[in-house]
Structure 1
Amino acid sequence: MSGPVDFLRACEPGTRVTVRRRIDGGWSDALGYLREITPEACVVETRRGMVTVPLDAVTHAVRVPEPPARRAR
Structure 2
Amino acid sequence: MTDPDPPATVPSQAAIARTRALVVLDGAALGDRLVVRAHDGAGARDALGELTGRTAETVTIATRRGPVTVLRSDVVAAKPVPPPPPPRAP
TM-score higher than 0.5:
yes
Task: Tell whether 2:24 aligns with 1:3.
Answer: no
Alpha-carbon distance in structure 2 between the residues aligned to 1:64 and 1:3: 15
**Which fold has the larger relative contact order, with Cα–Cα distance below 8 Å and residues 6 or more apart in sequence?**
1
Unpaired runs of 5+ residues, structure 2, are 1-15
Computed over aligned residues only, the root mean square deviation of the Cα atoms, in angstroms, reads 1.2
**Whose strand fraction is larger, Structure 1's or Structure 2's?**
1
Unpaired runs of 5+ residues, structure 1, are none
Q: TM-score, normalised by structure 2?
A: 0.77
Task: Give aligned-pair identity as a percent.
Answer: 38
**Whose helix fraction is larger, Structure 1's or Structure 2's?**
2
Q: TM-score, normalised by structure 1?
A: 0.93
Q: Count how many residue pairs are aligned between Structure 1 and Structure 2.
A: 73
Q: Which residue of 1 aligns with 2:69?
A: 52
4+ residue segments displaced more than 4 Å? none
The Cα offsets for residues 41-64 of structure 1, whole Å up to 9 and x where unpaired, read as 000000011100000000000000
Larger gyration radius, structure 1 or structure 2: 2
